[in-house]
Amino acid sequence: MSADRRRADPERADRERADRGPSARGPADRGRTAEAEITSPANPRIKQLIALRRRRSRDQVGVTLVEGLAEIELALAAGVRPQTLYHCRQLAAPESLSLAARAAALGTDVVRLSRPVFEKVSYREGPDGWLAVVPAVETDLGSLQLPPKPLVLICAGLEKPGNLGAILRTADAAGVAAVIAADPVTDWGNPNIVRASKGTVFSVPVASATTTEVLAWTAKHGLRIVAATPNAQTLLTDADLTGPMAIAVGAEQAGLPGEWLDSAAVTVTIPMFGKADSLNVAASAAIITYEAVRQRMRAGQHGQAGEHGQAGEPGSPSSLRSGYA
């Protein structure tokens, strides 16, 4: 194909570059990571990548999207092996470029994008030049493995990906054993959940199921349900939050459905002294979770809050550190 024809048909040129594997590289290329390069936004592969923003498309092929260097790094650390890694050298920090070679060594298909193409596929403002397609998050309730005296978070009917992502960050930091979506409105592979969670959706075990299924699961595992509601008579700090338990929080507008309130061993409320009638659900979940962590640490149960593959026990000197968002 002539150079003039390649310029006239950039999409075909992209395909030719993608089709040329290591065997097409010259001596000067030996030892480098084999990368296809896409420069046309009209490339079919780009159209397929953009389609993965839709849940139906993700479900059909069993994948999700992870954008951002920090998020991809955390996914890798959690054992996730990307199917495809897309990156843009014009946007990526020079010190991050070694990620491409590391991913290729895992068998990942590494594809380089021009800046206009990457900005087209990016779903966030100010992209840092990294986007990965990874296997779908495991969400089977029956596959969850619990430690002794687990601390679990249940999100009943939460609709906002940002809240679910923030709850995952709290769960990761607090060493929660699992986060379960009951009657979920969205899926754990939603790119906005991945982004809001900073990638912790891959470090914290998650599951999705109906309320009936989750209630049966909590009973099977002997978990006391602690339901958060502003109408409770028991202050959060007065409740016993040690032992095997599941903290249940509901959507900000509707609150927890009646099934959860009826099944709760105790309902708790967070004291409020301002004019607003409620806290953000992610903030509420964080406050209740850390009160449970505080009580468990005081009772010498800090190693039982939940372990999801991290080094050290939650609250132990090897893992305890401070931070803020």
Q: Which two tokens stand for residue 88?
A: 């843009």
Token pair belonging to 125: 């403002």
> b/e map of 201-234 (b: 16 or more CB within 10 Å)?
bbbbbbbbbebebbbebbeeeebbbbbbbeebee
Cβ atoms < 10 Å from Cβ of 108: 21
pLDDT score of 268 more than 90 = yes
Give me the pLDDT at residue 106, please. 94
Q: What would the pLDDT profile of 149-171 be if each residue is shown by its tens digit?
A: 999 999 999 989 999 999 999 99
Kindly report, as residue ranges, where domains of CATH 3.30.1330.30 are found in the chain. Answer: 33-135
Question: Residue 323 class from Cβ within 10 Å (0-12 exposed, 13-18 middle, 19+ buried)?
Answer: exposed
What pLDDT score was predicted for residue 310?
41
Instruction: Please compute the mean of the pLDDT values over residues 231-245 and round it to a whole number.
Output: 93
pLDDT tier at 190, thresholds 50, 70, 90: very high
Q: What per-residue confidence (pLDDT) applies to 273? A: 84
pLDDT in tens, 96-122: 999 999 999 999 999 999 999 999 999
Whether the per-residue pLDDT at 27 is higher than 90: the answer is no
Between 255 and 24, residue with greater pLDDT: 255
DSSP string, 53-109: TSHHHHHHHTEEEEESHHHHHHHHHTT---SEEEE-TTTS-GGGTHHHHHHHHTT-E
Instruction: Give the chain's radius of gyration (CA, Å).
Output: 23
Task: Tell me which range, 1-10, 26-35, 190-199, is most confidently predicted by mean pLDDT.
Answer: 190-199
| Band of pLDDT at residue 308, cut at 50, 70 and 90 | low
pLDDT-derived band of residue 15, with 50, 70 and 90 as boundaries? very low
Report the percent of the chain where pLDDT is more than 70.
Answer: 81
Listed in order, the ranges of the chain carrying CATH 3.40.1280.10 are: 141-304
pLDDT at 316: 43
pTM attached to this predicted model = 0.82
Give the integer Cα–Cα distance in Å for 109 and 185: 32
State the pLDDT at residue 31: 37
Using the predicted structure, report yes or no on whether residue 8 has a pLDDT greater than 90.
Answer: no
DSSP 239-251: S---SSEEEEEEB
Burial classification of residue 57, based on how many CB atoms lie within 10 Å of its CB (0-12 exposed, 13-18 middle, 19 or more buried): middle
CATH number for domain 33-135, candidates 3.30.1330.30, 3.50.50.60, 3.30.70.2610, 3.40.35.10: 3.30.1330.30
Output the pLDDT for position 33: 45
**CATH dotted code for 141-304:** 3.40.1280.10
Strands laid side by side in the 63-67 sheet: 36-38, 109-113, 84-87, 130-135, 63-67
Average pLDDT, the chain: 85
pLDDT tens readout for residues 43-100: 999 999 999 999 999 999 999 999 999 999 999 999 999 999 999 999 999 999 999 9
Q: Which residues contact 161 (CB under 8 A, 6 or more apart)?
A: 186, 190, 192, 193, 196
User: How many CB atoms lie under 10 A from the CB of residue 155?
Assistant: 27
Task: List own/partner pairs for 253-258 with CB under 8 A and 24 or more apart.
Answer: 254/157, 255/229, 255/230, 256/156, 256/227, 256/228, 256/229, 257/156, 257/157, 257/183, 257/211
